[in-house]
Structure 1
Amino acid sequence: MPILKRALLTITANVIVIFVLALLARNYILNPDLLAIEHAADQRDIQRFEQALDRYRLNLEGRIKRIYAAAGVLESLDSHINWQPIVQHLAKIGGYEELDYFILADETGANALLQAGEFVDRDSSPPSQLALNDILAHILPKLESNKRSTISGLFKSQYDGPIAYAAGRAHWSSDKLPAVYIAVRRLNQTMIPDFTERLGLSAEVISAPTLKEELQNHKVILGERTKHDTLYTRVNGDDGQALMSLRFKTAPRAFDDKAFSPTLLVAMFAVAASWSIVFIYLYYNMITPVRRISHTMQIIRQTNNYNKHLVYKNNDDLGMLVNECNELLKHVSQHTEKLSADAWLSPWATTPALHP
């Protein structure tokens, strides 16, 4: 096999081996660590959302506490002002801003009164009576069993979807005032994107069937990033049941995970380019001189001109070989000349006489 072909095959095999080793090192050494870091960051984003939702729920509870505190001050001024109408206006003011609606009822939940909040007023989307009854049926037992005057939580109403709520129970000196106060914020397609945007995240509510289908299509589990940089999670309500399913849009993956990724291709191009430079150097400094020397040797053999020398300028290993060949040619030339001289100097052989 010609040395040129062997050199090309050697370089090609070397590039392929380097590519395979780099791919294996990236996939089994580097990427697992980067995936673990990425997964931890994704989980922190989910936790940030859940913690923010908890803070929002506690903030609703704090609003009810402040309303009750102000109402308590007004009740203590019973002898000076007619405080009962003011308490009802206070409840409306406290339950309007950034809420969908609030509910006023007596201790048993009877005579429940629905008051529209900011978003129900804006969208003209009041809940149905069935939703009202569903929410009361969930919250009143919790108020009964809880020693605290106010509670908050997350609940999925069968008729109004997922909600965040805060509720309180008061004991007034007058039975004409509602004892139960419930503030409600719907966790819907409008609220969640705006809520997550404030956290620097991007999420949307999806249905349970959509969640199941997309998990199967992407072959991932909850909390695991897909190849399309999406992340799925499920939030549970305070009753332990699934409240809502979310699809997060994450930042693009910060490392390569494809076989022919741009980074790996650039690296392999650099390797191929460096080997090309090596090949060009070998071609002009080794292969071409060897071919020239071989051609000169062929001429010497064909012409028997042993005085012709091989030419190679570099003083390297090949140069040492060329020098030895030239010495050998010189020796052959001298020996040939001596043989020729001896042949010319020897007497001519005489033909013996023929006797009859």
Structure 2
Amino acid sequence: MDDSTFKALSRTGTPGRYAAFADLVDLAPAAAFIRGSDGRYLWANHAYAHLYGTVPEQVIGKYIEDLDEPAEADQFRALDQEILSRGTPVRHTLAYRRRDGSAGRAVGHRFPVRENARTCVAGIYVDVTDHLRATVQWQEAEENLQALRDHSGLPCALLSANGRVVEASAAAAELFQVSPHDLVGRRAHTLLAPEPDLDLDRLHRRWTGLISRRTRRVETSAVLVDAHGMQRRAQLHLTTIGHSAGRARHVWAVVTHQSLAHEAHPALTAAQIRILSLLAEGSSNGDIATSLHLSRQTVDYHLSRLRHLLGAATRPALVARAYVLGILAPRAWPPRSATAAHPLSTV
């Protein structure tokens, strides 16, 4: 390239044959340049000059060593020579120092172009610093979530929108007496006891609200059943993932409290649940009868029936069994049912 051509280039900033290329990328967010075989910049767009904290006019006409550290300049010259000798494009990652002093990364291609019968090197790069940082943050969040899932000891599972288990913690697999591999792919409703039906209906309505994003979080209870048919009432926290306006794709389900595993027993009536809550509160048989507008004989019958159903010989044992089986809420006072499915239970 002769001096007259270079002077014209310096004034316009654009080689004549590659004006279309320059016009295309001059104001584009991708950083681009054209450099001669001697390492002198023939053209650069605003995004490329911005990498060095300057403007294109301050880049054109300078050599690689004028802008980059010696070690980096040697690397760039060697890359240019590789492109010139091979005549084929090369994908390259550019490390640079951002204007705020932080490290930056740009990814792109360098390729040969012809100008005045001479081969030059052109390059176009996209700054991926923010993308890489977001990727690292996402990976760290994934690792933290996996650590929480695997080491917190809480039974938890990631569920798809159609209620299938996508991921599960070791504690969740232990709760259901299966391996984590066997738990993944199961439909969540197969892990719930079929009774009482009212509980499942309510849970389904709340699940529908989650998936449609009418709500983001739900706290509820359900009766879980393991591989051996043993049941336990559990407190469930359901949370959708993401903030998009469309349907939720995944839901995290976490068990925060659970009763002891027990064999299935007949579903208790609303009156029986209320009697247990009053009994746990310290009410006598007469007090219970007065509160529920029942006869003393009816209360005595219900208590006798409850002792038989729950396998408890005494009043204190009956109260204890009501708590460990998850019939009564463990964190509520005055005592109340662990589920609001019973219309006569206090909430």
- Asked whether the two chains share a fold, i.e. TM above 0.5, the reply is no
Q: Which has the higher contact order (CA 8 A, sep 6+)?
A: 1
Given the two structures, how large is their TM-score scaled by the length of structure 2? 0.31
Q: Which structure has more helix as a fraction of its residues?
A: 1
Q: What TM-score do you get using the length of structure 1 for normalisation?
A: 0.31
